[in-house]
Amino acid sequence: MPKNDHYVIIGNGPAGNLAADTLRDSDPDARITIVSNESMTYYYRHKLTEFIKGKAREEDLTVRPYSVYKDKNIRLRLGQQVDKIDPNKKIIYLKHMETVSYTKLIIATGASPRALPSVSNFSKCLNVLSTYSDALAQIPMINKNKTFLVLGGDIISFKFIRMLKDMGKEVTTLLYSEAFWPFSLEADMAQQVKKSLSDKGVTVISDDHIKSVKKSGEAFDIVTEKGLNQSFDSVYSFLGMIPNIRFILGSGIDTDRGILVDDHLKTNFDDVYAAGDCAQIYNPDMKSYWLSIGWNNAKIQGTLAAQNLLGAHKVINPAPQKILEVEGLKINTSWWESF
């Protein structure tokens, strides 16, 4: 590789960081840039609920402090959103109106909260908790408010509900069967989840849908199709995640639910790779694509994408972890096949 190669990684999660480390280890002289739309450096997202509760400090969230990037001569661009990509010109356009040229690109933008069509009419009234910035902004409100409605079903919602209960809040959850993510629960398992939540003092509503959400002063008036009419201080939505690929659309890079990559994690452009939750990976045996989730999968894929970008020909193993824990239930699932 010539010394003036510029490797750009979009996303500063596990996939992005492992990719950067792999590139740096193999090419000490290359320019490496990570673009992140977060204001905080690489952190443990699953600890955000502990952070909100005040049980974890900012440094406890941090996986890698900023100084490490400097030491490794990796340029970390924080708080910067990619607007679009031109893979033919090999240019990234940032939302703050700056262009960045690359020679090779790895997209590792992860996933973000999904808004189901059934809630789109009142999505402005819904809070989501996905990032450190979300947590930071919402801590005062969460501390202040008493009653919460959680539209949920995804794996993160259960963790959030547990946090609220630990904080002594009154919680009602409306389970959306179509929102169970990253898998569909079998009926008996769903029943066990409901029972577990009820045992913790959570009011669980199922087989119902929100009809309207109206702001009334500081609170929100909720009406469901089955006639529930109640006011809550806050309404949260945890309806699953979708790959962060909006900025890719129209670029020429093939996408479906995620960024379509082959089993080497390469897109339809030779110099563009994708890894982690944003990638939709081809499985030659199944002749289909699968979406990946999870921290460890992202790390594996970030490393492999960087290796292949540097010239290796490694194939991703389409059999990541299948055991997930939901409300105390160990669930063996092959969710990606039916996603």
Instruction: Catalog residues that contact another protein under the rule CB under 8 A.
Output: 39-41, 66, 77-80, 93-101, 136-137
The Cα 94–Cα 115 span in angstroms is 25
Rounded least distance, CB 80 to another protein, Å: 6
Cβ 85 to another protein shortest distance, Å: 13
Query: In this structure, what is the dihedral angle of CA atoms 236, 242, 243, 249, given to the nearest 10 degrees?
Result: -110
3-state SS, residue 284 = coil
Place of tokens 């009406």: 223
Exposure letters 272-307 (e unless 16+ CB within 10 A, then b): bbbbbbbbbbbeeeeeebbbbbbbebbbbbbbbbbb
Cis status, amide bond into 28, omega within 30 of 0: no
- What count of other Cβ atoms lies within 10 Å of the Cβ of residue 66? 13
- 98 vs 178, which CB is nearer to another protein? 98
Question: In whole angstroms, how close is the CB of 111 to another protein at the nearest point?
Answer: 24
Q: How far is the CB of 54 from another protein (least distance, A)?
A: 19
Q: Give 139 or 228: the residue with its C-beta nearer to another protein.
A: 139
State in angstroms the smallest separation of the CB of 79 from another protein. 5
268 closest CA partner among 257, 260, 276:
260
d(CA 208, CA 230): 14
In the three-class reduction of DSSP (H, G, I as helix; E, B as strand; rest coil), residue 285 is classed as coil
Q: Which two tokens stand for residue 238?
A: 């945890």
* Closest CB to another protein among residues 59, 188: 59
Nearest to 247 by CA among 126, 121, 92: 92
CB of 96 to another protein, least distance (A): 4
Tell me if residue 191 falls in helix, strand or coil. Answer: helix
Q: Which is nearer to another protein, 79 or 250 (CB)?
A: 79
H or E element in which residue 187 lies: helix 187-199
Shorter beta-carbon distance to another protein: residue 140 or 227: 140
Which residue lies nearer to another protein by CB, 36 or 234?
Answer: 36
CA nearest neighbour of 10 among 65, 91, 71 = 91
Q: How far is the CB of 38 from another protein (least distance, A)?
A: 10
Q: How far is the CB of 316 from another protein (least distance, A)?
A: 31
Residue 105 or residue 242: which is nearer to another protein going by CB? 105
Of 45 and 90, nearer to another protein (C-beta) is: 90
